[in-house]
Each structure stands twice: as structure tokens, then as C-alpha cells.
Amino acid sequence: MSDFNDFNNPQVAALPSHLKQFIVDQHYGHYTPVDHAVWRYVMRQNYSYLKDVAYYPYIPGLQKAGLTIEKIPDLQDMNNALAKIGWGAVTVDGFIPPAAFMEYQAYRVLVIAADIRQLNHIEYTPAPDIIHESAGHAPIIADKDYHEYLSYFGSIGAKAMFSSQDFELYEAIRALSILKEMPDADPEEIQRADELVAWYQDNMGEPSEMALLSRLHWWTVEYGLIGTLDNPKIYGAGLLSSIGESASCMMEEVKKLPYTIDAVKYSYDITKTQPQLFVTPTFQNLIDVLEEFADTMSFRRGGTYGIQKAIDSKNTCTAVYSSGLQISGTFTEFKTEGNGQPTFIKTTGGTSLAVGNKQLKGHGKKYHKDGFSSPVGRLKGYDKPLEDFTANELTAAGIETGKDVSLIFESGITVAGKLTKISTENGKIILFKIEKCTVLDEKGSILFDPAWGIYDMAVGGTITSVFCGAADKDAFLEIAYKSNTGTHHPEYDQRTKELHKLYQQVRDRRHTGGDLGFLGNVWMVLQKFHHDDWLCALEILELLEHEDAEPALATEIKQFLEQKAATEPEYKKLINDGLYLIKHPVEERLII
């Protein structure tokens, strides 16, 4: 992105290019007066209710994240505020792949969907929107224990193994969420998309590391409760940004379970309210559970377990030798010995070599375009791993540059040829370059033939770690999987544009003061051309009631709203909650 805007925020500026591809402009001017009214309504409701059930002080949290109740946040304002606590924020187009989402967290950058929910989905939207992402996630970022958990989760999630089924489910969920936000979506099309998501969820096979981690993320970051089972408080963003579920989740019908590693056994459906929630006593417990799960993952277990997971994944993965050498490519084969440790590993197609997540010069995937293979293990007759040999020990073993070598491994694999270069990094031998090289397995079968070119042999006694993705993603030119499905952006007809003007007039009056008489005209036009609207009517009533003006007009609007609440069930809670806030207003000083 040549015109990449880093908002003068160090965390955003540090993002690698493979993550920058997901960033879109916020286009702040595209938000309509109705959008701002939706934001304001949800935020006022949130404050009214959440001040008693949210874990953290809601308003101070909003302020530390650069948010107000009155208007949709501007990314620059958010970045100015978040930079003070070592975080940043960017806008993206709806759901992004889980691996990328996790990596953003590791870089301490909040990913915020640029869109905002429609008025008819004001209580809850299955699609990520700016209310969920900023009002849900951002205010709690100021809590140090929590944001340490969030970034640590991201660093672990970025290494998680994922499968092709994960991508198929991601695409199906993204398509469904987009459909559900479209005002004129075909109900049959929504049903088909719903069924497709259900089918993928039921046919995932054994869940991948990423799928299991996503469950832990869901039951903590999105839907977590903290405290005691009898008196929990909300900290999960999914609950904090849903004015419906933040209230219903506290009811007895929603089971409250202690948060332990067992939470990975509970799958979730993003389109439905949650049948159970998990309560953690502290944020430290979240880290403890994450550590417990991380210990089961390939990046910590390495060995044959990790290599097999890499082969099953069919994605670019990285195997790390005990010398620190990282092999990134598509793993297709390995050999093992009696103790279960790999003795030989092989990739197919473009492969790169790196150390410390930085690609080694001359060892990109163009050079290793046909794949890479190498033994793993110790030389026969030596207790010391080859990577730790001193110069004298190499000479004593007959290993010298410019001379022919014959390396016999404990596994029986032999490597013979002319050694032309020994590469070291951080005090460890990592690579031998061998010309006219023959590699044979313990049965004498050819693993590498001199006719295939120069042989680069990785040096390392064990495979200590295996993780998804390339070690040096940008050098690998790894474009993370990106959906071709775009989110829906509405085209407004003339009638809707006229409605926007009415909302803007009410908004302007709230901000600037002045005569209230013209609100009667706004109400008249609403009644004539936009009889379904309830939110603009509520905002007019709020102004009239708070300033004790135009009592006859106020009575008329109130009767209209009460009648609508009584006869149209879908508006009952929304209108009654709005009327409650007129009588019990949010303090003005908190909403500016």
C-alpha cells in the first residue's frame, strides 16, 4: 500500500506488508446522520446498562480509547488515544481470516470493521461492525492485564495450524454475515447460506489448532465474563456491543461455567445468542489457560507431531531446527526413527530458509523453487549435536571446507560430497553447502542425486518447533488468504436521503442549540413520508422533554412511540429503552 496511512501511530507503522493488504480507508464522510444516531443510541444504552454490569469503568475506558457516546469514532482520534497505551487501530472490510486477525493482535493493533450496523439490526449484527469492534474491544484495552493477554493470544494464534476446512468455514461465515446485513437479501438465499455454515461446522473433522484457539478467543475476548459464578461482570466485546445480549446473558437460563481449558470443547454459532458463558476469576487465569493450551500446539511440541500437522495442513508451514534454522514451505514427507523423532524432512515447491524470522540471503523460494530436503539428528558416534561443533571438533571429524566429506547420521542416512561452505548464526552451525552430493537413506535409496545440483544441508539435532505460515512472511511474498467476497455498501434512494436530512437537522440542533420550533416541521415530514421511523422521533422527543418545550408536540410524539411499541413487537424493547433514557438521561458531560 503505497498510500498507507499509519495515523502517526508506532504500532500501525510497524505492521508488515502482508497485514497491510487487509486495511481499508475508513471514509468517515460516508457515515450518514442515521449511522451516527444508531451509534449514539447504542452507546447511551450501553452506558446506562453497562455502568452496573461491565467489569471496567465504561466511560473512562471509552475516553482512553478515543471514543465518545455522541459520534462514530474517527480512526485518527482513536490512534492518538491508543498510542498512549501502546496500541493502534486500523479499519478493515468485515471479517478477515483468523490467522491475520490474530497477528494484528500480536502487533497490538485493533482491527475495526469500517461499516456500521443498519438501524434494523441495531440490537445485534452477525457482521463485525464499528460498534462491536471499537465500543466492544477498545475501552478495555486500557486494562494492562487484559491487553497483555490480548497481544499474547495474538502471538500464539499467529503460529496456530489451520486447515482448508477452516478457510471454507471462514468464507461461509463471512458470506452469511454479509447477506444478513443486506436490507433486501432474499430469505431463501440467507437460509441456504445458514445451512452451508451449519454443514461446514458439522463436517470439520478433527478441529485444527486454529479452530480450537478460536473457541478460546470466542469464550474470552468476545463473550467472556469475569468475577464469581454468582456475580460475574462483562468484559467480552460481543456482549459489550450487543444491547440485547448484554442484558439477556445475565439471566439464569444462560449457564455460567468456570473458565478452564475445557472451554475448547464448546463450539459456537456466531448467528445465535450463547447458551452458556464462561467466567474467569482473573485475567491471569486467561493467560494460564492459554499457556496450558499452547503447550499442546505444534509450535511448542515440534518433532514428528508438528511435521505431521504441517503435512495435514497443506499450507505453508515453518519447521525450526534446534540450530535456529527455519525451513518454510509446503511439507510433504518425513522419515522417523524408533524414538519417534524425525530423521529427514522434505518440502515440495518454493521453500525459503531463515533465522530469527529473517530470510537468509540467497535462500529464498526462487532459489529453492523445487523444494528442500535435509536430514535431522546427530552424527553417528557423537554425543554432541553437529550444530555445536567447534572448529577443532569439525576438523577432528574430517569436516573441512574445500574437502570431500562423508557424514553418517545415527538414523543411517549418509551425505557425501565436497563441502564448499559452512554457515553459522548466533554461534550455531546452521547449514552446509555441498557440491556433487549424494544423500542415501538407511536402505541405500537415493534422497538426493548429484545431478540435481548443489545440496544445502540443514544442520540441527531436532525439530524444536513447527508453525503455520512462513518465518519471514514478507520476504516469502506470502499474501495471506484474502476473501473475494466484498461487504455490502448501500446505495441510498432519494427518499432515504431526505430522511438523512431530517436526522441531521435534529443532530445539529442538539449540538448548536437555538430555536426548537422547526422540530414540528421535522416531525410532520417524518409522519408523512417516514412513518416507520422511530429513532428520529425519539431524538426529537428527547430534545423537547429535556428543554421542557412544545408540550403538545412532545405528547403527540410520545403517544406515537408508545402506540408503535404496543403494536409492533420488534420495536417494543428499543422504544421503551429509549423512553427510559429520556427520563434517566446519561450525564451530558460524559457524551461530548
- 70 assigned to a ligand binding site: no
- 132 assigned to a ligand binding site: yes
Q: What are phi and psi of 266, to 5 degrees?
A: -100, 110
Beta bridge partners of 432: 422, 457
Q: Report the C-alpha gap between 195 and 309 in whole angstroms.
A: 29
The dihedral region occupied by 371, where left means phi > 0, alpha psi between -120 and 50, and beta the remainder, is left
C-beta separation of 88 from 105 below 8 A: no
DSSP 586: P
Euclidean distance between the first and final Cα of the chain, in Å? 35
Strands 428-440, 404-408: pairing kind: unpaired
C-beta separation of 277 from 283 below 8 A: no
Identify the H or E element spanning 448.
Answer: strand 446-448
Q: Of the candidates 205, 458, 267, 181, which has an alpha carbon nearest to the alpha carbon of residue 347?
A: 458
Q: Report the C-alpha gap between 20 and 17 in whole angstroms.
A: 5
Taking only Cα atoms into account, the Rg of the chain, rounded to an integer number of angstroms, comes to 29
- 222 assigned to a ligand binding site: yes
Distances (CA, A) of 573 to 67, 339, 387, 469, 577: 26, 64, 68, 47, 6
Which alpha helices (H) appear in 428-518, and where do they start and end?
A: 494-512
C-beta separation of 108 from 11 below 8 A: yes
Annotated binding residues for Fe cation, as ranges?
132, 137, 222
Annotated binding residues, as ranges?
132, 137, 222
